[in-house]
């Protein structure tokens, strides 16, 4: 791959200042045009008419690209949203997040993590031991960008997710984001569910455990949600942490192992073995 010209292409669309859609890819030179088209299909096909769409294209130094394997993937079939959140808390604890901090983070997303219960534009950062909020700006948070599946990684993850019940392109993208984030210096785990009222799935992710998906961690129609990156403690180098998330280009070369849909108790028990 060394020498190949690669570009980060990032699209976002908004309507009256409200974010409508965002997506990104990392592709070789000859696929730039087609990818811009592909990315713009989303806001144009959504049934809304965004008044602003922007596409940024930056060449990436191929020698600086990090290549990582995706996190392993498992889905936990829980009876309802309350039990999904209980199991999410237990997975967070097994990842190294203090029990009270795990509870607080879940309550935070349920209430809306931004000022006055609003959504944040990016993720909150929490000290995994104390729960202290470490992001500079509680409305903005920190955004992870410049990541994608490599060409061969994309083919393989598409085949793998083709066998998954209720797989969604958002799962593939969130798995890519979580796989990049899991390699951030000082990170312990991540918790996310969408603020999109039509999307009820969410996850806990951590390098040693993988990406644990909960199909119903939120009731339909609810527009509170968000993302939390838990870091080891408040002494980590936050500048290096956010720089990695925002600036380091990461290609995900291959999927991890797919463990299928599992009973939550069996899965939690398997983590202590």
Binding residues for ligand AMP, rule: CB under 6 A, are: 119-120, 122-123, 141, 143-145, 177, 192, 194-196, 225-227
The least CB distance from residue 227 to ligand AMP, in Å, is 3
What CA–CA distance (Å, rounded) separates 101 from 130?
7
- Residue 140's binding partner among ligand AMP, ligand COA, none (Cβ under 5 to 8 angstroms by kind) is ligand COA
DSSP single-letter state for residue 85? H
Q: H/E element holding 21?
A: strand 18-28
**Coil, strand or helix: which one is 208?**
coil
Question: Residue 259 phi/psi, 5° resolution?
Answer: -95, 5
Q: Token digits for 11?
A: 């699209």
Residue 196 binds which of ligand COA, ligand AMP, none (CB < 5-8 A, kind-dependent): ligand AMP
243 near ligand COA, rule: CB under 6 A: no
Q: Per CB under 6 A, does 138 bind ligand COA?
A: no
Return d(Cα 59, Cα 137) in angstroms, integer.
Answer: 29
Are 128 and 96 contacting, i.e. CB atoms less than 8 angstroms apart?
Answer: yes
Q: Which does 19 bind (CB under 5 to 8 A by kind): ligand COA, ligand AMP, none?
A: ligand COA
Q: Is 177 in the site for ligand COA (CB under 6 A)?
A: yes
The angle, 0 to 180 degrees and rounded to 10, between the axes of the packed helices 99-111 and 81-95 is 140
Of the two residues 109 and 128, which places its CB atom closer to ligand AMP in the complex?
109
C-alpha distances in Å from residue 7, one per residue of 12, 18, 69, 249, 263: 16, 27, 20, 10, 41
The residue range among 10-18, 78-86, 209-217, 251-259 that interacts with ligand COA, by the rule CB under 6 A, is 10-18
Residue 104 burial (CB count, 10 A): 17
| Closest by CA position to 61, among listed 233, 271, 262, 247 | 247
Question: Of 199 and 258, which has the nearer Cβ to ligand AMP?
Answer: 199
Does 38 participate in binding ligand COA (rule CB under 6 A)?
A: no
Per-residue contact track with ligand COA, 151 to 170, x per CB under 6 A? -------------------x
Determine the distance from the C-alpha atom of residue 67 to the mean position of all C-alpha atoms in its chain, rounded to a whole number: 17
Minimum Å distance from CB 26 to ligand COA?
A: 11
Q: How far apart are CA 96 and CA 230, in angstroms?
A: 9
138/140 with CB nearer ligand COA: 140
256 binds, among ligand COA, ligand AMP, none (CB under 5 to 8 A by kind): none
With CB under 5 to 8 Å by kind, the binding choice for 52 among ligand AMP, ligand COA, none is none
Comparing CB distances to ligand COA, the nearer of 131 and 241 is 241
Residues near ligand COA (CB under 6 A):
10-12, 19, 22-24, 56, 121, 140, 143, 145, 170, 173-174, 177
């Amino acid at each position: 791959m060394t020498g190949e010209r690669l570009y980060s292409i990032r699209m976002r669309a908004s309507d009256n200042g409200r974010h409508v859609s965002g997506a990104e890819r990392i592709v070789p030179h000859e696929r730039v045009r087609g990818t811009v088209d592909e990315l713009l299909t989303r806001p144009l096909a959504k049934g809304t008419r965004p008044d602003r769409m922007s596409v940024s294209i930056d060449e990436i130094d191929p020698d600086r690209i990090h290549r990582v394997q995706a996190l392993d993937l498992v889905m936990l079939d829980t009876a309802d949203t309350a039990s999904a959140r209980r199991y999410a808390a237990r997975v967070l604890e097994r990842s190294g997040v203090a029990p009270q901090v795990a509870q607080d983070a879940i309550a935070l997303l349920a209430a809306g993590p931004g000022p006055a219960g609003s959504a944040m534009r990016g993720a909150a950062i929490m000290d995994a031991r104390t729960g202290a909020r470490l992001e500079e700006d509680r409305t903005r948070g920190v955004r992870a960008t410049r990541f994608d599946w490599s060409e061969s990684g994309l083919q393989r993850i598409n085949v793998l997710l083709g066998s998954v019940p209720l797989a969604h392109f958002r799962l593939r993208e969130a798995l890519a984001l979580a796989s990049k984030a899991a390699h951030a210096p000082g990170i312990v785990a991540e918790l996310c569910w969408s603020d999109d009222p039509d999307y009820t799935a969410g996850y806990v992710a951590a390098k040693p455990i993988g990406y644990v998906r909960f199909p119903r961690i939120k009731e339909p129609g609810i527009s509170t949600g968000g993302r939390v990156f838990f870091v080891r403690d408040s002494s980590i180098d936050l500048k290096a942490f956010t720089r990695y998330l925002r600036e380091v280009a990461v290609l995900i070369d291959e999927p991890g192992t797919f463990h299928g849909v599992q009973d939550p108790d069996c899965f939690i028990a398997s983590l202590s073995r």
